[in-house]
Structure formats: C-alpha cells, structure tokens
A and B are shown apart, each in its own frame.
Chain A
Amino acid sequence: MITTEKVRQRAESDAKTYGYYLHPDPDFLQDLLEGLKKNEERYGYPSCPCRLATGKLELDRDIICPCDYRDPDVAEYGTCYCALYMRKDLYEGKTPITPIPERRPLEKRVRAYAATTSTTSTTPERTEAKAAPAQTAQTIKKKLWYCKQCGYVVFREDPPYICPICKAKRELFATIEINATSQG
C-alpha cells in the first residue's frame, strides 16, 4: 500500500532531479501529498490533486504528477498548477506564491465532464468543447515523437513541452512515420 511518506520521498527525489523545491508550508504540502496518495488509491495512479480526473488512465495521462504542464509552468510562473513544485526564489519567499492560470488545453479538461451525453445547449463559441463526449480512451491517437535535438523517442498523444533529456522545446519534436512494407 502506498503511504504519504512514500509519496513525499518520490516528490522530493523528483524535485531534486529537476532542481525544484517542494512547497515550503508543511500543512499545504501535506495536503497535496495526501491528495496524491488518495488519487493513487482511488484511480491507481497519482493524478494531480487540484484537477478533476476521469479515473481513466488514457484520459488522465497528462495530469499524472508530475504533470505535462509542470516544467513550462515552473519556468513561466515559478510554480506548478498545484504549487507542489516550485523554483528556489518562491521557496525562499523572495517571490510570492500565488495561483497560476491553467495551461492544460480545454479539449483535455473537458474529458472529465464527457462521461454523460448531455444535449444541453451552450453558446455557439463553446461548441468545440462540447464535441468532447464522443472522446473516449479508445479514440485517443498516440504517435511516436522524437526530439530532433537528442533523439529521445516517446509514444504519446502530444509531444512533451520540454524534452526530459536535453530540455529542447516542444517545437523541436517531430512525429516518426513508419512505412511498413512487405518483403519476400
């Protein structure tokens, strides 16, 4: 069984690897770690404590902590969405810790609300988001992406925001097209 201490060790180790710090307020940090533990218990993976998960791995993959948005968020705002991970200047109190905007794209956020096939009308500009109910774990298209800078290869829906190996930006990722030909 997962323990809060285990979750803490994992977060501390990850923070150290990436040069981040965990939230300095012990109570706030404890709440987040317990939230991660609860999500791991109920969903089977530690999805973000501050976002609504579907409980379906394929739909929640991008918000499994550390989420896809952590690195660009820490780079831009100084903390991740939950404020679990942060830069040194915020940890040391030199920069205030405030809530940050949600970077997760709307089409992914609506997945948590797509379980029912509601027909309630919404304003026209929202129609693109209403297309989501048809989206299920089965319809998510994963591709092979490679980093043109270092060659790192990953099989997922979107390329990472930042290459975990060489820190190249998302723009440096390209898809790998595989042309299978029969021989003999």
Chain B
Amino acid sequence: MKKNKVEGKNNTHKVLVYAISTCAWCKMTKKYLKDNDIEYEYVDVDQTSDEDHEKIREDMIRRGEEPSYPTIIVDDKTLITGFRKDKLKEALGI
C-alpha cells in the first residue's frame, strides 16, 4: 500500500499515521506533527483498496488495538489512538 511521506527536520523517530482523509482529528494530528517539524508517513485508509483495509486492520490488531483513526505508531512499537497531544509529546520528545 502506498504510504505518503512528509519530510521534517526531526527524523529521530519512525512515525506512521493511519488516518481517514475526511477526519478532522486526523488532520489535526498531521498538522501537529508538521508544525513540530516531525518527519512522518501516513496512509489515508479510506483511499486504499479493500485488501489494504484488511492489512491495516491486521497490523493494528497485531499491535493490540482495533482500528480507529487517527492511530499513530511510533518506532514500530508505541501505538497512540486518537489525537492525544500529551502522549505524542512523550513518545516523540517534543
């Protein structure tokens, strides 16, 4: 599946955002990362194929959560559900 990359000067962490293109909380999350110059990748799940939907769900379940959006995965291990600034700050050292 295609991941979109957003460049940023702060690239010490690997950040992946599962989002919905129409979701305002997801947009807020992307904006927050960009405003803090964090490099990240994102997938707008509603714009992927049905097969990808299933793969994305399996990826989230593997990490212990049912899908909801946005979901932010930091360094392949820390999973944050929803736009939770405090958790993002902690995980990304902002």
Contacts and interface: CB of A to CB of B under 8 A. Distances in A.
A and B are partners in one complex rather than unrelated chains: yes
Interface of A: 23, 28, 31-32, 34-36, 38-39, 49-53, 82-83, 99, 102, 106, 109-110, 112-113, 115-116, 118, 120, 122-123, 126, 129
Nearest to B85: A98
Interface in B40-59: 45-46, 50-51, 53-54, 56-58
Given A116-B51, A118-B54, A83 B69 contact: no
A52 B27 contact: no
Given A51-B69, A106-B66, A129-B66, A113 B24 contact: no
A35 B51 contact: no
B12 interface: no
A31 B57 CA distance: 25
A82 B24 contact: yes
Given A113-B54, A113-B57, A50 B24 contact: yes
B17 interface: no
A36 B22 CA distance: 8
B23 interface: yes
B6 interface: no
B46 A53 contact: yes
Given A102-B68, A106-B66, A52 B53 contact: yes
B17 to A, nearest CB: 14
Contacts of B5: none
B81 to A, nearest CB: 8
Contact of A50 (B53, B54, B69): B69
Contact of B58 (A39, A83, A106, A122): A122
